[in-house]
């Protein structure tokens, strides 16, 4: 039985290298364009970093498969099979990157037989490195991570992200969901502009829950391993098992807070990563 520890070591080295590219690219002028909607941004750096990550991994693991944000946007089929598959977001928080808002990450997940085995998330601005391997714990810069044990939603800090759709019907549901979270009452709701870093905050116990409609498998893959290995829960917005391709997620430190969030949410339909 493979333990994939060499893959974790390789992923860490590549995430650090990719992070250096992002750090120098953020200081330069950016070529920005949009993808699915005017608010779904991409830059030359996203393409460059994805190419760096995939080509390096492919050289090391020629039989492995790849799902990457920018390859998928360019039409490569987003398909999770039983084969060892790397799931990559080269720059998570592209809008933040464009504005030099300091919440930008490189995210590398890895799945085998559709089971998420490892995750690496590198915060490009402050150098924080989150890592986890299934069954072996989650770490932040080498220090073991533990989710919040809070069960009382009135003491919870909740994180979410907006997603790319801004039509009035979607915004009404988005704001309605946020209103429910605020009026629980919780301690607060935060939006930081990077799904992977927000999810990392669930793993570190800095916030109690995260929910979102409209994110992608490359936003969830690495973070799901890190949160679970830190003792947390990652699930579908209905409360059922996580479906990596479903473009929706709830994550929480405790099952009680996850259940509360699930009960409040009105769904927003973003389709699926593997059919769009």
Give the three-state DSSP class for 132: strand
- 117 makes contact with ligand IPD (CB under 6 A): no
Q: Would the annotation count 92 as a binding residue?
A: yes
b/e code 13-29 from CB counts within 10 Å (16+ = b): ebbebbbebbeebbeee
258 near 239, Cβ under 8 Å? Answer: yes
Residue 215 engages ligand IPD in binding (rule: CB under 6 A): yes
Rounded-to-integer distance, Cα 272 and Cα 276, Å: 6
Phi, psi angle pair for 200, to nearest 5°: -60, -35
- Our answer to whether residue 91 is catalytic in this structure is yes
> What are 104's two structure tokens?
């930008």
Site string for ligand IPD, 218-237 (x = CB under 6 A): -x------------------
Judged by CB under 6 A, the number of residues near ligand IPD is 16
Separation of alpha carbons 189 and 161, rounded Å: 10
Q: How many CB atoms lie within 10 A of CB 211?
A: 23
- Count Cβ atoms within 10 A of the Cβ of residue 259 and give its class: 0-12 exposed, 13-18 middle, 19 or more buried: middle
89 binds ligand IPD (CB under 6 A): yes
Q: Which of 109, 163, 232, 253 binds ligand IPD (CB under 6 A)?
A: 163
- To the question of whether residue 276 is assigned a binding role by annotation, the answer is no
Is 193 one of the binding residues for ligand IPD (CB under 6 A)? yes
Of residues 89 and 150, the one with the C-beta less far from ligand IPD: 89
Segment interacting with ligand IPD (CB under 6 A) among 51-59, 121-129, 143-151, 191-199: 191-199
Q: Is 216 in the site for ligand IPD (CB under 6 A)?
A: yes
Q: Which residues bind ligand IPD (CB under 6 A)?
A: 69, 89, 91-94, 161-163, 193-195, 214-216, 219
Q: Which residues are annotated as a binding site for Mg(2+)?
A: 69, 89, 91-92, 219
């Amino acid at each position: 039985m493979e333990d994939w520890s060499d893959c974790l070591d390789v992923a860490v080295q590549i995430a650090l290298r990719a992070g250096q590219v992002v750090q120098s690219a953020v200081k330069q002028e950016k070529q920005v364009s949009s993808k699915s909607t005017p608010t779904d941004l991409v830059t030359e750096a996203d393409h460059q970093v994805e190419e760096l990550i995939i080509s390096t991994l492919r050289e090391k693991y020629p039989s492995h498969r790849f799902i990457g944000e920018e390859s998928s946007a360019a039409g490569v089929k987003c398909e999770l099979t039983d084969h060892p598959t790397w799931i990559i977001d080269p720059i998570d928080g592209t809008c933040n990157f464009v504005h030099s808002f300091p919440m930008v990450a490189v995210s590398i997940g890895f799945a085998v037989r559709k089971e998420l085995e490892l995750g690496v998330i590198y915060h490009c601005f402050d150098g924080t490195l989150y890592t986890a391997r299934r069954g072996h714990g989650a770490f932040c810069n080498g220090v073991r991570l533990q989710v919040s044990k809070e069960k009382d939603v009135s003491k919870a800090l909740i994180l979410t992200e907006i997603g790319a759709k801004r039509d009035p019907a979607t915004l009404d549901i988005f704001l309605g969901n946020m209103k429910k979270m605020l009026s629980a009452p919780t301690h607060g709701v935060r939006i930081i502009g990077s799904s992977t870093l927000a999810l990392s905050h669930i793993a570190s116990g800095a916030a109690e829950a995260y929910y979102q409609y409209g994110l992608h498998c490359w936003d969830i893959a690495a973070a799901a391993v890190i949160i679970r290995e830190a003792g947390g829960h990652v699930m579908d917005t209905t409360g059922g098992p996580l479906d990596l391709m479903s473009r929706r997620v709830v994550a929480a430190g405790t099952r009680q807070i996850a259940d509360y969030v699930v009960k409040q949410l009105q769904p927003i339909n973003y389709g699926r990563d593997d059919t769009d």
